[in-house]
Amino acid sequence: MLTPLGRLDKYISSENIFNRQMVARSLLDTLRAVSEDERDCVSVLEQIDRLADDSEPTVRAELMEQIPHIAIFCQENRPSIPFAFSKYLLPIVVRYLSDQNNLVRKTSQAALLVLLEQELMERGDVESLVCPVLVDLTAPDSSDDVKTEAMAIICKVAPMVGRDVTERLFLPRFCEMCCDSRMFHVRKVCAANFGDMCGVVGGEATEELLLPRFFQLCSDNVWGVRKACAECFMTVSSASSPDVRRTKLSSLFISLISDPSRWVRQAAFQSLGPFISTFASPSSNASQFFRDEERSGAQTHSTDAEAVCAQQEPAGREEQDEDRAAQTAESLTADDSQKCLPSSSEEIPEQELFNSFHFWRTPIPRIDPELELLEEDRRPSAPALDRKHLQELIENLEPHIDDPDVKAQVDVLTAALRATALDSGLEDTLSHHALLTVSVPSCTALTDSVPSCTALTDSVSSCTALTDAIPSCTALTTLSHDAVLQDVVPQALLEQYLSMTDPSRAQTVDMEIARHCAFSLPGVALTLGRQNWHCLRDTYETLASDMQWKVRRTLAFSIHELALILGDQLTAAHLVPIFNSFLKDLDEVRIGVLKHLYDFLKLLHQDTRRKYLYQLQEFLVTDNSRNWRFRSELAEQLVLLLELYSAQDVHDYLRPLALCLCTDRVSSVRWTSYRLVSEIIRKLSSCSSLLVSFLGELVEKFCHSQKWSGRQAFAFVCQLSIEEECLSLDQFSEHLLPPLLQLASDPVPNVRVLLAKTLRQTLLEREYFLSSVNCQQVALEHTLVALQTDVDKDVKYFASVHPGSTRLNEDAMSTTSSTY
């Protein structure tokens, strides 16, 4: 019997925690109940302020979850309760940002982001109330968890508040936190959001204030920080000037690719293609090819690439890395590809005591997690490396060349060493022949950067053994000869991208590296331009023949984009053969080609395009007959392909496919195919003889079909032909209307129902069928009268009245069983 305010007053002071939680949960309903009375609304808001002081964290968290919903209600009812949000709700959100309870803080942070996204906060309130609190929470005297959380919120809030507020309030503290030597968690948050911060403050502030900090983060002694830098490299590069990108960021990225940590190298190679795309001209918009990857963790077209390792949030301070190491394999450092084994036989299970792995191999020693903090001494520095420094690094690594990770680093540093010669001024003064000599030394001249075959005999038995890590002299010559003919992208970056198809990369970096390469290839190709396609051709062909179907699938989904970049001549010469191989591949690969079949074929010359008419029927055969979506996609693509071919070709090649799909076992495929048939009618309407032949075939195959679904399909095709104006009304009356009216005596009610809908909602809506000019008018009226007296009530209903919906295809499908 209590009023809403009465219940609120009774339970808000209850000693039972669950009662107070219930009050918090029902605040929005209480406000709605009293919304017409401004005084009662103010009373509820005052009770909210009282509830905010509750000593129980779960009550405060429950209240904070309701704040965004209450704020939206207040905004919608602003005339009744003006200033409700800024006076009553916002102070609670700000206060809870520094609450001692972790749950309450997390809830308030989420609420703050929702309020900002919904634009429920005044800009002045954000700048004067929220931003100062967030900055204060990152002060040196704040606890580690609070400081980390506050910095994460600052990075998310910055794009919402804009450049001016960010530069004045957030940027100084952000730069300071990037150099926090005590808390690597804070540095990791800064590194992960560095690109977003650069995008907010613009190029000038980025180069003057942020890039020096970015260089420091890329040299951090914790691999997780460096990995975060590699992941955001594209956005940082996008905010920088072309000169800085080429002279500074390129060499910095090379240091990440040669990082001792496998996880850092993995992230760097995944970001290599997107980073290269930032060298494209602004008008090309090469970054569009990486939006799918940014939108989800899957790459292929995102489809697909699963994360190799799920990085867990650290639980404590930097000094507590040992506890974190016991929970996740990512705690391993430079040699993180190794696995720790028990060092004594007592720790090995009895059944494994004589396992050949344990018996014949020297036990792998335990790795101290604290070793990660000492990585900095073992890493090349992040700033640009000169030729002398690169040579010293290679010499230091040569004694450990047997280690696959070291081989990978030597490979990267060798490429960087060659790049220093290419990027110097030598090529401006030397002839083309001399340029190739400098860029691609012979086996003898390679001794400055890569040990010769003879010099390596002490550690490696032959040059053949080097192929896993360092390409042979011939391979180096071919690689550099192709790559040097372009000046769009720094030499070292392009060579590293081309090396992503090297089998050794899969062992030392990432098993999915070839898929990352395939995903980013259209963006790299757009950056280089069609004039430099020769640099990527061999890599593309290697990827197209990769053993992993996911790599080929990625290329199949993007081959139409690459064709658009290369133009018709290069497409015909280099992409058509690969396209043909994809047509005969697994269904998982063929679906990528099929989804963009029209987009690819329209780019080909007419003669080349016509050859594919003979191969379209192959799409009817799938590895799994239950894969009905494949056939449905084929029907949709055939509708688009009609415009690419002549009426005669459509009649000879596409018509049989359409009729076959119309008899598919799956209803969804059939209904799509009926639309295809109606579009074929439109295409053939320009040729009378072909049209008459096709309409006669439809009458024979469908109207006179032994199956009721075929007769129903005929009625639906007739309906679509009129609604979509696929042929003239005279042609329809002559060839399709007489057999259509015969369906009035069909024994199956579903057929008669669709016929009634077609006559009432489609034909009788046209004046043509109501006039005496139409020779079929009398027959049409008689048929309609017969349907109005039909024994089936549904048939009688649709023939007698005018239903509200005119989308007959939906009505028709509702009366048809969707059989599999």
Residue 785 has pLDDT above 50, yes or no: yes
pLDDT tens by residue, 666-705? 999 999 999 999 999 999 998 999 999 999 999 999 999 9
Q: Which contacts (CB < 8 Å, 24+ apart) does range 804-813 have? A: 806/761, 808/716, 808/719, 808/723, 808/754, 808/757, 808/758, 808/761, 808/762, 809/671, 809/716, 809/719, 809/720, 811/754, 811/757, 812/712, 812/715, 812/716, 812/719, 812/754, 812/757, 813/667, 813/671
Residue 514 has pLDDT above 50, yes or no: yes
Q: Which contacts (CB < 8 Å, 24+ apart) does range 685-693 have? A: 685/726, 685/727, 685/728, 685/731, 686/647, 687/647, 687/648, 687/651, 690/647, 690/648, 690/651, 691/727, 691/731, 692/735, 693/651
pLDDT at 285: 62
Of the listed ranges 382-396, 646-660, 695-709, the one predicted with least confidence: 382-396
Band of pLDDT at residue 389, cut at 50, 70 and 90: low
Q: Which residue has the higher pLDDT, 722 or 805?
A: 722
Residue 490 has pLDDT above 50, yes or no: yes
Distance CA 236, CA 229 (A): 9
Of the listed ranges 410-414, 707-711, 749-753, 797-801, the one predicted with least confidence: 410-414
- 613: number of Cβ within 10 Å: 18
Residue 375: both structure tokens together: 């990585």
Whether the CB-CB separation of 271 and 233 falls below 8 Å is answered with yes
- 317: number of Cβ within 10 Å: 13
What single DSSP character describes residue 311? Answer: P
Of the listed ranges 111-120, 187-196, 342-351, 677-686, the one predicted with least confidence: 342-351
Helix (H/G/I), strand (E/B), else coil: 548: coil
pLDDT at 597: 95
Whether the CB-CB separation of 264 and 223 falls below 8 Å is answered with yes
Whether the CB-CB separation of 211 and 240 falls below 8 Å is answered with yes
pLDDT tens by residue, 552-580? 999 999 999 999 999 999 999 999 999 99
Distance CA 708, CA 536 (A): 56
Residue 768 has pLDDT above 50, yes or no: yes
Band of pLDDT at residue 108, cut at 50, 70 and 90: very high
pLDDT at 8: 85
Single-letter residue type at 487 = D
pLDDT tens by residue, 441-482? 333 333 333 333 333 333 333 333 333 333 333 333 344 444
Residues 726-746 have a mean pLDDT of 91
Residues 186-202 have a mean pLDDT of 92
Of the listed ranges 20-34, 443-457, 597-611, the one predicted with least confidence: 443-457
Residues 129-151 have a mean pLDDT of 89
Q: Which residue has the higher pLDDT, 127 or 325?
A: 127
Band of pLDDT at residue 79, cut at 50, 70 and 90: low
The CA-CA-CA angle for residues 396, 398, 401, to 5°, reads 130
Band of pLDDT at residue 346, cut at 50, 70 and 90: very low
Whether the CB-CB separation of 25 and 66 falls below 8 Å is answered with yes
Distance CA 67, CA 115 (A): 9
Band of pLDDT at residue 491, cut at 50, 70 and 90: confident
Residue 73 has pLDDT above 90, yes or no: no
pLDDT at 507: 84
Residue 347 has pLDDT above 50, yes or no: no
Q: Is the dihedral of CA 425, 431, 436, 437 positive or negative?
A: negative
Of the listed ranges 232-236, 386-390, 535-539, 542-546, the one predicted with least confidence: 386-390
Residue 378 has pLDDT above 90, yes or no: no
Average pLDDT, the chain: 78
Distance CA 128, CA 806 (A): 56
Whether the CB-CB separation of 272 and 474 falls below 8 Å is answered with no
pLDDT tens by residue, 517-545? 999 999 999 999 999 999 999 999 999 99
Band of pLDDT at residue 345, cut at 50, 70 and 90: very low
Whether the CB-CB separation of 159 and 199 falls below 8 Å is answered with yes
Q: Is the dihedral of CA 27, 30, 36, 38 positive or negative?
A: negative
pLDDT at 308: 28
CA-wise closest residue to 620 among 675, 663, 651, 652: 663
Whether the CB-CB separation of 535 and 494 falls below 8 Å is answered with yes
Of the listed ranges 183-192, 204-213, 810-819, the one predicted with least confidence: 810-819
Residue 817 has pLDDT above 90, yes or no: no
Band of pLDDT at residue 126, cut at 50, 70 and 90: confident
Helix, strand, coil percent values for the chain (each to nearest 5):
70, 0, 30
| 73-82, 473-482, 717-726, 769-778: which is most confident | 717-726
pLDDT tens by residue, 219-228? 999 999 999 9
Whether the CB-CB separation of 703 and 714 falls below 8 Å is answered with yes
pLDDT at 13: 83
Q: Provide, rounded to the nearest whole percent, the portion of the chain with pLDDT above 70.
A: 73
Residue whose pair of structure tokens reads 């005297």 in the numeric block: 141
Residues 22-34 have a mean pLDDT of 88
Instruction: Using alpha carbons, list the distances in angstroms from residue 227 to 232, 240, 346.
Output: 9, 20, 38
Residue 17 has pLDDT above 80, yes or no: yes
Instruction: Using alpha carbons, list the distances in angstroms from residue 370 to 93, 187, 366, 443.
Output: 40, 18, 12, 42
Whether the CB-CB separation of 274 and 489 falls below 8 Å is answered with no
Residues 378-385 have a mean pLDDT of 44
Of the listed ranges 15-29, 113-127, 359-373, the one predicted with least confidence: 359-373
Band of pLDDT at residue 361, cut at 50, 70 and 90: very low
Q: Which residue has the higher pLDDT, 442 or 750?
A: 750
pLDDT at 88: 85
Classify residue 688 by burial, with Cβ atoms within 10 Å: 0-12, 13-18, 19+: exposed
Whether the CB-CB separation of 306 and 293 falls below 8 Å is answered with no
Residues 71-96 have a mean pLDDT of 81
pLDDT tens by residue, 245-304? 999 999 999 999 999 999 999 999 999 999 999 998 776 666 555 544 333 333 333 333
